[in-house]
Every structure is written in C-alpha cells, then in structure tokens.
C-alpha cells in the first residue's frame, strides 16, 4: 500500500454532485470531507496488498512524529496533537512512468479490492484514535490544502 502524507493546517475535498468524471467549467460541488491541522493522506492500494499492509500503514501514519513539540522539533504524532486525517484514494500513486509518456496504472489494485482496502485503512486509522474524514472512492475530486512546512512524506508498505 502506498501513501503520500502532507502535513496541513487545513484541507478539504469536494466532489462533483453528478460525478461524471469529466471536469466542467462550472461544476456543482459539495464538500465531503475537511480537517483543520493534521495530515492529508493520499492512499493507493496496490495489487497484492493485504489486510496486514493496511494495519501496518495505519499504525505508522497515526504514530509518525511530524508535528512540532514545544521546542519546535518534529516530535509529536497525530495521536499526540489530536489532529485529523483527510484520507483520499489516489490510484495514480501506482503510476509507472518509465516507458513512453502516458503512465500505466496496472500495479494498482482492481477497483473492488481497492475500495475494500481503502475503507479498511480508514477504519484502521480511526481505531488508532485518529479523527478521519474521507473523499469519495473513484470520484473526480478537488482537493484543497494549506501545506504546513511543507512536510511531505512518501510511504510504501513494501519498503518496510
């Protein structure tokens, strides 16, 4: 399972009401998830990912010390700060860009398994004590964020 974490002061995700997947000039959107200080977690289930990968990633995200302590050192986690996580599915993290100019996404889990693992990850993160907001799986989304730092961390459970 892959995740790209961005420390944020705020983030929100909006989804087209009609969710045609085709951007329009004036889409009718509604917010589906928003957080204040915390982490925007872009997550991708990969072919072969297991429930164990999901649990491992959720534990690491909840415990990752990327927030400042009283001395300005990155020494506090989401659990320590009470910050939230906005979790957004993003199959494009599976992109293989090495050949040609159009990336391939065949390494991503199929949509049914991807949705199951995404939901399982959100639930596992909640069980870790993190308030979780979500996007809408497989929808065309607009994500807005205010990056804090910036602090951006790449995680891949296959690199343990």
Query: Could you report the per-residue pLDDT of 62-99, keeping only the tens digit for each?
Result: 999 999 999 999 999 999 999 999 999 999 999 999 99
Least confident of 20-29, 90-99, 126-135, 137-146: 20-29
Query: Is a pLDDT exceeding 50 seen at residue 36?
Result: yes
> Quick one: residue 25, left, alpha or beta (phi over 0 = left, psi -120 to 50 = alpha)?
alpha
Determine which one of 20, 92, 105, 152 is catalytic: 92
Domains and CATH numbers, the chain: 2-22+29-159 (3.50.80.10)
Q: Which of 109, 88, 106 is nearest to 97 (CA)?
A: 106
Query: Contacts by 52-55 with C-beta closer than 8 Å and gap 24+?
Result: 53/1, 53/117, 53/157, 54/1, 54/117, 54/120, 54/121, 54/124, 55/124
Which is more confidently placed, 84 or 160?
Answer: 84
Q: What is the pLDDT of residue 69?
A: 96
| Residue 92 annotated among the catalytic residues of the structure | yes
Query: Is a pLDDT exceeding 50 seen at residue 20?
Result: no
| Residue 134 annotated among the catalytic residues of the structure | no
| Residue 91 annotated among the catalytic residues of the structure | yes
Determine which one of 6, 12, 67, 91 is catalytic: 91
Query: Could you report the per-residue pLDDT of 102-129, keeping only the tens digit for each?
Result: 999 999 999 999 999 999 999 999 999 9
Determine which one of 12, 90, 134, 157 is catalytic: 90
Query: Is a pLDDT exceeding 60 seen at residue 22?
Result: no
């Amino acid at each position: 399972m892959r995740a790209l974490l961005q420390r944020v002061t705020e983030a929100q995700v909006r989804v087209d009401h009609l969710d045609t997947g085709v951007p329009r000039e004036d889409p009718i959107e509604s917010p589906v998830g928003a957080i204040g200080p915390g982490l925007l977690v872009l997550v991708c289930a990969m072919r072969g990912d297991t429930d164990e990968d999901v649990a491992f990633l959720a534990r690491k995200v909840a415990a990752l010390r990327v927030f400042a302590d009283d001395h300005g050192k990155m020494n506090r986690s989401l659990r320590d700060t009470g910050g939230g996580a906005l979790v957004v599915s993003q199959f494009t993290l599976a992109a293989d860009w090495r050949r040609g100019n159009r990336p391939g996404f065949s390494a991503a889990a199929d949509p049914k398994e991807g949705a199951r693992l995404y939901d399982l990850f959100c639930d596992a993160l909640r069980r870790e004590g993190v308030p979780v907001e979500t996007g809408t799986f497989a929808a065309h989304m607009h994500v807005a964020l205010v990056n804090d730092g910036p602090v951006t961390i790449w995680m891949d459970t296959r690199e343990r």
